[in-house]
Amino acid sequence: MKSQGFLDKLIAGLPIKKREATLFKPLSLMVTLWPSFPHFIKFANDKRISGIRLNSAMISNPELEKELKEIKNLNLETPLYFDAKGRQPRITWVDYNNKNNLDLKLNHPISVKTPVRVLFKAGADSAILEKLEEGGQRLIFRAGPAYMVSPGESIHVLHPSFCIDGPLFTDIEKEKIEKVRTHGFARYFLSYVECQNDIDEFQELIGKNVIIMLKIENQRGLDFVANYFKKTENLILVAARGDLYIELSWPHHILKALKFIIEKDSEACVGSRILLSVVNDLKNHNAQEAIKLLRSISLNGQDTEKLIEKALLSVINRDIPSCADFCELAWLYDIGYRNMMLCDELCLKEDLLDTAVSAFDAFRLEK
């Protein structure tokens, strides 16, 4: 663990009183987890964490029931927030047998002038949409390379003619919301908020005396904040940068958007794309190629994948986040954000989340 001492010394070297005082500072951190994660209990009991977001995007109704049963058996002090998916277009089906064209279905029907480019993987990949079928819910793309997309993933279409049709919530999402409401949840996130009607419809399902974190994820959402948003004690804005950064006309507009949201709501949360240098090395192309090669080698009946991962992680320096990550935290703090949230990717693995939380806490201790 060649660099582990960096964070340990930074935190452990501070006076005990200063470390304890961190718990009462206005700077708070949320993470995204599910009870079925092996590291859930560890972070659910971590006093450095102020809340846990449960993301409904990649979970089915039967799986949700199991997770809620698990929660019922736990005596948790950390607040839980259920992230309800409203208008956001997400993939529900992919025709993996079609070797010529990418062919998929969405949770919501859409309309857009075709052909048009569609973005996948948070903007890292794209394909040309040729035509819409089945009322705008099935998308047929132009022939091209094999695209690795899966059910649950979101898509982005930046053309001005793009529109998401149909009801705000699918029947499946309504079932999830009802299960969570019945379970007694009083804190929620709502994705892709664009108008007051979105909030009103959601409150009809969950009640009005609950906290709703309103995720602002596109230009329409920013327009709503500018012209119609009315701050109340139970409505809190979220600069949801995972999608907001992609949806803006120009990448540098994210700076103005972040300043704008915190000006409209001093309690606003900023989420995603924070401390991502912790996982950047795992995305390195050479590392991915090495994984493919090593997985093809027999290791005498041992757990090949775990051995490979352990070997690779031992040579990848991920214990020290980048200078840019710390400077960005400082900028977000300086413009007014006191509530921050890590993205799903950082939260999937215990070692990644542990490093990110420790880095965040080291930054918080210095404020």
Is residue 115 within 8 Å of residue 128, measured between CB atoms? yes
Residue 34, in any domain of the structure: yes
The rounded mean pLDDT for the chain is 87
* Residue numbers of the domain that contains 288: 282-315
Closest among 10, 3, 79 to 364, alpha carbons compared:
10
**pTM, two decimal places:** 0.84
Residue 223 belongs to domain with CATH number: 3.20.20.60
Extract the tokens encoding 209: 């005396």
Place of tokens 């004690």: 233
* Range of lowest pLDDT (246-255, 272-281, 286-295): 286-295
149 shares its domain with 289 = no
Question: Residue 281 above 60 pLDDT?
Answer: no
* Domain match, 256 and 121 both: no
What confidence tier does 122 reach under pLDDT thresholds 50, 70, 90?
confident
Q: Are residues 183 and 237 in the same domain?
A: yes
Q: Does residue 8 fall inside a structural domain? A: no
On whether both 249 and 120 belong to a single domain, the answer is no
Sheet order of strands, 125-133 included: 91-94, 103-106, 138-141, 125-133, 116-120
pLDDT surpassing 60 at residue 195: yes
Whether 113 is in a domain gets the answer yes
Same domain, 194 and 266: yes
Q: Looking at 137-218, list the stretches that DSSP marks H as alpha helix, in order from N- to C-terminal side.
A: 171-183, 196-206
- Percentage of the chain with pLDDT > 90? 69
pLDDT, residue 284, reads: 47
Beta bridge partners of 236: 213
Is residue 186 located within the same domain as residue 259?
A: yes
190 with 332, same domain? yes
pLDDT at 128: 95
Confidence of residue 183 (pLDDT cuts 50, 70, 90): very high
Residue 20 lies in a domain: no
Same domain, 248 and 338: yes
CB 81 within 8 A of CB 53: yes
**Same structural domain for residues 238 and 328?**
yes
Determine the pLDDT at residue 279.
Answer: 81
In this structure, the answer to whether residues 97 and 202 fall within a common structural domain is no
Number of structural domains (the chain) is 3
Give yes or no: residues 151 and 289 share one domain. no
